[in-house]
Structure 1
Amino acid sequence: MRRRPLTRLLAVAACAALLGAVAGCGDGGDSEAAGSTTVRLGFSAWPGWFPWQVAQEKGLFAANGVEVELTWFDSYTDSLQALSTGNLDANSQTLNDTLTSVSGGAKQTVVLVNDNSTGNDQIIAAPGIADVAALRGKKVAVEQGTVDHYLLLLALEKAGLSEKDITLTPLLTDAAAAAFVAGQVDAVGAFAPFTTTALGRAGSRAVATSKDFPGAIPDHLAFDSGYLREHPEQVQKVVQTWFDTLEWIAANGAEAVAIMARRGGVSEADYRTYDAGTTIFTREQNIAAFTPGGDPTHLDFQADQIAEFLVRTELAPGKPSLDGLLEPKFVHAVT
């Protein structure tokens, strides 16, 4: 689940940056593992990342000549900490979280866009609340610093409101959804599968979703910058495997869904409902996203917007540097 207790994550990232391999902080980016060609890759419960399971089960990493130690994290936060402390070489995570880690001193580089959220992140309101404007004066539960907090602020701004116009109730996403179903709050910001939980409240509806803000919530593959520097050929093979996996999924849809649903712990029917809300990026869409530009479809623009959000909400001590954050050469080199 995409959870982010950011103060803890910032502390972990800073510790990794300052102390490297000192006991109690974990391995740094230039740790002993940086000498290994095995790629320690983490992922967790988000539909855009389940193709990694397909790659592993169908031998597609091996087909590209790369040895991958694929690790599933029940706790998304644990995967973020593992990358920041050098216990992973790469992780699938949101742009928000990569920038949070960078704010804390971690050295990470985005090499691939897995997907954009196009509906699976939602602001869900109680009966009688027809739109975002009607949230004025209402209690809204959301996990602070998450992409759904970011989505809430975007939606409020579009409606001519700000966070000061609502009563924000900070809760972890699962608890927020439960509080909404119990009638303790008037609205909730959540991501799939907790959107399904929240919509279980009779008469509730989504008044804003990530579909309304194209490009605002990109999910991607981030590498430890030290590992990338030492082993660019392994990074290239992992990126190549991702696109080979997408081809395999397109040709073997039923089997692919079975694999991904099993990994997600949901039925195949439930898994299929997530398709429209998560847009997996093609190579061409990746290249377009990595190309510098002045609107939300471009990663550099979105990274700048998110960096300002982190500072404005005091979830980062200062605006993180974007230098070296985005590296498109691996996507360009895919055959």
Structure 2
Amino acid sequence: MIKKIGEAGKVALMAGMLAGTAMLAGCSPAPAGQAQKKTEFNIGWSIYAGWMPWPYAQQAGIVKKWADKYHIKINIVQVNDYVESVNQFNAGKFDGVTVTNMDALTIPAAAGKDTSAIIMGDYSNGNDGVLLKGANSIAALKGKQVYLVELSVSHYLLARALGTAGLSLSDVKTVNTSDADIVGAFSSPDAQAAVAWNPQLSVMRGQQGVNQVFSSAQVPGEILDLLTVDTATLKANPDLGKALAGIWYETMALMKRQDAQGKAARAAMAKLAGTTPEVFDNQLKTTFLYDDPKAAVAATGSPSLVTTMTRVRDFSFSKGLFKGASSADAVGMSFPGGKTLGEAQHVTLRFDDSFMKMAADGKL
């Protein structure tokens, strides 16, 4: 559920990792708090079921409502290539971006950009899957080429799937394929296995003779979709965090309604995603949305998040995504309650529940 990488995105990602080498070799990242106070902000997003509330909120006037409340302007900006959106955030072109937990860690945080995850949006509960033609077991993947977006949560999901059958990534050969090309690539008779996310997953799964042998529903809570914001920008402009939380939870409340208004909102999101309301609703069934801020706060403060991020960072380190690092501890993370993972002096990914708490307490 990393959304788009491809060859160009992979090159950009590798460039970002190389840029992070100096930090991981021993230089501390610049401290948060050096950003300027400002009134206009840009938030990047890309198409995925769990992120469609953001463009809908802009279309419906919810973004303007909350931005006006705090006397700021928020632009919700679509980027067709997911990894490019994260790279643009990393480069400072966006103040915030929709991103998975793994990519928040391996792209901005690993490059030394102090990043705060302020909204726990959802987790993939079947939106990502491992597909196989002509067989129906994970063990049958051994020796096969597997088409996927390399160095992504698809890669992570494959590793988790193989582990359940006593296999490892060395037992397969991965073929790096962009999300834009993976449906076509998998339709070739030569392609026997793939890992993908929705909407591509549902299209590929519908091909004749294809079986889904593993999905993210079997590792619930491990593939997380977040809204992250530059920590320094957030510190200088806390009203941005308040407005974004207000936007998210107002949109969530509307989205989950089963009346005509809720149905219309979901249909509008489907249109923005380029799909039908029926397909979009099916994608939502495999997306566990944290539509209640209290539930999001609880999930962010749960010990299971630390366990998940330990798995994710260990996998990322094993794949060389912490370029120049001597251990998985090189990129530090902080969690609510003062908990840290990795080097406390190198914390560049922060799970910040303060704005979700404000929403839960009705203090926005």
Distance of 2:113 and 2:21 partners within structure 1:
5
| Alignment gaps of 5+ in structure 2 | 23-31, 334-346
Q: CA deviation at 1:81?
A: 1.4
Q: Show the counterpart of 2:339.
A: none
The equivalent of 2:3 in structure 1 is 2
Superposition deviation, residue 13 in structure 1: 6.8
CA distance in 1, matches of 2:34, 2:78: 22
**Correspondence list, 1:265-276, <5 A:** 265-276=274-285
Residue in structure 1 matched with residue 263 of structure 2 by the alignment: 254
Q: Tell me, yes or no, if the aligned pair for 1:10 and 1:104 is still in contact at 8 Å.
A: no
Counterpart residue number, 2:75: 69
Would you say the 8 A contact 2:56–2:272 is kept in 1?
Answer: no
Contact conserved, 2:97 with 2:227, CA < 8 A, in 1? yes
Map of 2:178 onto structure 1: 172
Task: Identify if the C-alpha distance between structure 1 residues 42 and 16 changes in structure 2 by more than 3 Å, giving closer, same or farther.
Answer: farther
Partner of 1:315: 321
Q: 2:118 aligns with which of 111, 115, 119?
A: 111
Q: How far apart are the structure 2 equivalents of 1:152 and 1:174?
A: 19
Which residue of structure 1 aligns with residue 298 of structure 2? 288
**Counterpart Cα distance in 1 of 2:96 and 2:202:** 30
Task: Tell me how far apart the structure 2 counterparts of residues 179 and 250 of structure 1 sit (CA, whole Å).
Answer: 35
* Structure 2 counterpart of 1:98, one-letter code: A
1:144 is aligned to 150
How far is 1:133 from its partner?
1.5
Corresponding residue number in structure 2 for 1:46: 48
Deviation at 1:292, TM superposition (A): 4.1
Q: How many equivalent pairs are there?
A: 321
Task: For residue 325 of structure 1, give the secondary structure of its aligned residue in structure 2.
Answer: strand
Deviation larger for 219-228 or 61-70: 61-70
Let me know the Cα RMSD of the aligned residues.
2.4
Aligned partner (choices 45, 64, 78) of residue 84 of structure 2 = 78
- Listed one character per residue, the Cα deviations across residues 199-227 of structure 1 (whole Å, up to 9, x for unaligned) are 24311011001111011100000001111
Runs of 4+ in 1 over 4 A off after TM superposition: 13-18, 29-32
Matched with 2:130 is: 123
Q: Secondary structure at the match of 1:333?
A: helix
Q: Does 1:92 align with 2:117?
A: no
Deviation at 1:17, TM superposition (A): 11
Contact 2:33–2:235 (8 Å) recurs in 1: no
| Contact 1:125–1:186 (Cα < 8 Å) also in 2 | yes
Q: Evaluate the alpha carbon distance shift between residue 17 and residue 138 of structure 1 in structure 2; reply closer, same or farther with a 3 A threshold.
A: closer
State the Cα deviation string for residues 222-247 of structure 1 (Å, max 9, x = none).
00111111011221121122111111
Contact 1:16 1:86 in 2 (8 A): no
2:352 to 317, 324, 327: 327
- How many percent identity over aligned positions? 24
TM-score normalized by structure 1? Answer: 0.89
SS in 2 for 1:154: helix
> 5+ residue gaps in structure 1?
19-28
Tell me, in whole angstroms, the C-alpha distance in 2 between the residues paired with 1:325 and 1:183.
Answer: 44
**Alignment partner of 1:191 is 2:200:** no
Structure 1 residues 83 and 14: alpha-carbon distance in aligned structure 2, compared to 1, 3 A threshold: farther
SS of 1:196's equivalent in the other structure is helix
Deviations 1:259-300 (A, max 9, x none): 10111111222212211111111212211221141x3xx2x3
Deviation at 1:15, TM superposition (A): 5.0
Q: Secondary structure at the match of 1:144?
A: coil
2:44 touches 2:96 (CA, 8 Å); kept in 1?
yes
Q: Rate the CA distance shift 1:312–1:173 in 2: closer, same or farther, 3 A.
A: same
Q: CA 1:58/1:82 → structure 2, altered by over 3 Å: closer, same or farther?
A: same
Which range moves more in the overlay, 58-67 or 269-278?
A: 58-67
Asked if the contact 2:12–2:87 (Cα under 8 Å) also holds between the matched residues in 1, the reply is no
What one-letter code is carried by the residue in structure 2 that aligns with 1:51?
A: P
Counterpart for residue 133 of structure 1? 139
Query: Is the alpha carbon distance of 1:17 and 1:136 closer, same or farther for their aligned partners in structure 2, counting shifts above 3 Å?
Result: closer
Cα offset, 1:170, TM superposition: 2.4
Offset, 1:68: 1.0
Q: Normalized against structure 2, the TM-score is what?
A: 0.82
Partner of 2:242 in structure 1?
A: 236
Take 1:164 and 1:200, find their aligned partners in 2: how far apart are those partners? 28
Distance 1:259 1:30, change over 3 A: farther
Measure the CA separation in 1 of the matches of 2:41 and 2:21: 20
